[in-house]
Amino acid sequence: MPFDNTYSRLPERFYERITPVRVKNPGLIRVNRELAASMEFPLPETDSAMAELFSGNELPEGCDPVALVYAGHQFGHFVPRLGDGRAVLLGEYVNSTGKRFDIQLKGSGRTRFSRNGDGLSPLGPVIREYIISEAMYRLGIPTTRALAMVSTGEKVFREEELPGAVLTRVAASHIRVGTFEYFASRSDHEALKILTDYAIERHYPELTETAEPYAALLDKVCAAQAALVARWMSVGFIHGVMNTDNTTVSGETIDYGPCAFMDSYDPSTVFSSIDTYGRYAFGRQPAIAQWNMASFAGCLLPLLHENEDTAREAAQSIIDGFKDIFKQHYFADMCRKIGFSSHEDISIELLNRLLEIMQQGKSDFTLTFRKLSSAVENTPETFLSGFSGKDEVGKWLIDWRKELNRQGIAPDKAAQIMNGCNPAVIARNHRVEQAISAAVEHGDYSVTDRLLEAIRLPYAERTDFDEYRNPPEPSEKVYRTFCGT
């Protein structure tokens, strides 16, 4: 297999060389054949051979497994050493077009970085990551992906005894803000420079030619994170653990823990059981992304300029620019949701008015936007059915149509814009929980399969997945999600 392991050729203090712990009785749960085909990844022929490979029992030729070291701010508190405590990077798979994919096993046993953890993953979180990362990909949002899930045939002990599993994750890379923080906090400037040059080479090679590649890197990563979080906001996604160790320089969404899509619109929504103070609430995600970028900037200071004040000024001006870049992305994405191809002030005002009405009325975020296209001309009944007080939203509809008209956007054009970015189906939290319960309690993966099929074409108008459009019934509502770590 064409593995080329540039990361494990970095100095030894970047990782621990390690063989994944063997599992007792690996069984293939699901393999992502579409992903494998798009990567040109040659899958073994039999299920049992795939189970051996994706459990880490059988190592592919050419791989060089390592557990990566990193640090990170967890809920605002700096932890000087985290690292892959339950994951092993097998290596980098390179396909015929030269595209490079990190192949990582998550839940593959203890490493030097496990601290008090067991290095294992229960089945539930593996299924959650598989489903939600796939949903994000299908929505068109940059994300790591899941290539396979296997059961280990072993028990994992949390509050109860649970079946164990391993997820195979595919990522552009696993370089995190926390990786920079690890070396910066130790004042290991040599490693910091090696890491930064490596990140540039791998993700932004065009910057090597620029006069100030390190400032340019900071700029690029800020832009990527701003664009990413704007996309999250546009589909109601809550990451749940936006720690700096869960923030990539590639701009991919990573580490699906207690993440979830929001049902009724409220910026203060939090699902994560460990987010007691709502640090990572839906509406705080942009500010947190900026905070994470400030942490990143802090790490790069020694590389930005030999004079600390000059370095600080350069970093500060880039971080100050984050909000504007975010807003550009956010309002562009959000104004498309109400049919505008650009984001003039008046469109933004209309958007904010609608969001306000939605928040007051606890309207379903996904359903409201999806139904809006049906109200673009004169039949607002379906759309209005999502609101209790109709007066305000009725007025809004009139103003909205007037503005579309003023901007010369014909109703069918507006509907086309909206239906192209307002998903009909998202991986709703109660559906994800139902899929997990069926699998964990009864070994039944049919619920997972049907959900995966439902989220495969999120923007399509399909009648056979109607039940996936609806928000949960009161009895189905899920209020808390868990990392399962």
Contacting positions for ligand AMP (CB under 6 A): 82-86, 113-114, 117-120, 241, 245-246, 255, 257, 483, 485
CB-closest chain residue to Mg ion: 255
Q: Between helices 177-185 and 285-304, what is the axis angle to 10°?
A: 40
Distances in whole angstroms, Cα of residue 437 to Cα of each of 27, 262, 440, 467, 479: 19, 20, 5, 18, 15
∠ Cα 344 251 427 (to 5°): 80
Nearer to ligand AMP, 84 or 181 (CB): 84
Q: Which is nearer to Mg ion, 235 or 259 (CB)?
A: 259
314 binds, among Mg ion, ligand AMP, none (CB under 5 to 8 A by kind): none
The region of 209-217, 243-251, 424-432, 445-453 touching Mg ion under the rule CB under 5 A is 243-251
Q: Residue 237 corresponds to which tokens in the numbers above?
A: 């996604």
Under the criterion CB under 5 A, does residue 255 sit at the interface with Mg ion?
A: yes
- Only segment of 104-112, 244-252, 285-293, 417-425 that touches Mg ion (CB under 5 A): 244-252
86 or 220, CB closer to Mg ion? 86
Q: If contact means CB under 5 to 8 A according to the sort of partner, which of ligand AMP, Mg ion, none does residue 164 touch?
A: none
| Token duo for residue 121 | 């993953």
Stretch that binds Mg ion, among 160-168, 250-258, 321-329, 477-485 (CB under 5 A): 250-258
Q: How far is the CB of 233 from ligand AMP (least distance, A)?
A: 21
Burial class (CB in 10 A: 0-12, 13-18, 19+), 180: buried
Out of 5, 244, 246, 292, the residue judged to bind Mg ion by CB under 5 A? 246
Indicate which residue of 84, 102, 219, 245 is catalytic.
Answer: 245
Distance between first and last Cα of the chain: 32
Nearer to ligand AMP, 52 or 84 (CB): 84
Q: Give the nearest distance from C-beta 295 to ligand AMP in angstroms.
A: 15
State the binding partner of 359 from Mg ion, ligand AMP, none, CB within 5 to 8 A by kind: none
Q: Residue 483 CB, nearest distance to ligand AMP (Å)?
A: 6
Give the three-class secondary structure for 356.
Answer: helix
Residue 232: partners with Cβ closer than 8 Å, 6 or more residues away: 141, 238, 239, 253, 285
Q: Is 192 exposed, middle or buried (0-12, 13-18, 19+ CB in 10 A)?
A: buried
Collapsed DSSP state (helix, strand, coil) of residue 235: coil
Closest to ligand AMP by CB, 39 or 177? 177
Buried b / exposed e across 8-26, counting CB within 10 Å, b at 16+?
bebeeebbbebebbebeeb
Q: Is 368 helix (H, G, I), strand (E, B) or coil?
A: helix
Residue 237, binding choice from Mg ion, ligand AMP, none, Cβ under 5 to 8 Å by partner class: none
In angstroms, what is the minimal distance from the CB of 352 to ligand AMP?
A: 33
Question: Is 373 an interacting residue with respect to Mg ion (CB under 5 A)?
Answer: no
Rounded Cα distance, 213 and 227, in Å: 21
129 binds Mg ion, rule: CB under 5 A: no
Tell me how far the alpha carbon of residue 78 is from its chain's centroid.
22
CA 276 to chain CA centroid, Å, is 21
DSSP conformational letter for 67? E
Residue 77 CB, nearest approach to Mg ion (Å): 15
Residue 309 is among the residues annotated as catalytic for this protein: no
Residue whose CB is less far from Mg ion, 90 or 372 = 90
The least CB distance from residue 246 to Mg ion, in Å, is 5
Answer for the pair 217, 196: CB distance below 8 angstroms, yes or no. Answer: yes
Kindly state the smallest distance separating residue 291's Cβ from Mg ion, in Å: 17
Is 84 an interacting residue with respect to Mg ion (CB under 5 A)? no
Q: How far is the CB of 315 from Mg ion (least distance, A)?
A: 25
Specify which residues 68 forms β-bridges with. Answer: 15
82 binds, among ligand AMP, Mg ion, none (CB under 5 to 8 A by kind): ligand AMP
Residue nearer to ligand AMP on the CB measure, 73 or 145: 73
Q: Which does 117 bind (CB under 5 to 8 A by kind): ligand AMP, Mg ion, none?
A: ligand AMP
10 Å Cβ neighbour count for 474? 6
Give which of ligand AMP, Mg ion, none residue 86 binds (C-beta under 5 to 8 Å, depending on kind): ligand AMP
Q: Which of Mg ion, ligand AMP, none has residue 8 at its interface (CB below 5 to 8 Å by kind)?
A: none
By C-beta, is 248 or 373 nearer to Mg ion? 248
Beta strands at 72-74 and 77-79: parallel, antiparallel or unpaired: antiparallel
Dihedral Cα 304, 305, 310, 312, nearest 10 deg:
40
Lay out the site mask for Mg ion across 406-435 (x = CB under 5 A, - = otherwise): ------------------------------
Among ligand AMP, Mg ion, none, the one that 458 touches (CB under a kind-dependent 5 to 8 A) is none
89: closest CA among 120, 69, 64, 119? 64
Q: Report helix, strand or coil for 418.
A: helix
Residues 6 or more apart from 374 whose CB is under 8 A from it?
Answer: 380, 382, 383
Establish if 181 lies at the interface with Mg ion (CB under 5 A). Answer: no
Q: Residue 255 or 403: which CB sits closer to Mg ion?
A: 255
Given the rule CB under 5 A, which residues bind Mg ion? 246, 255
What residues act catalytically?
245
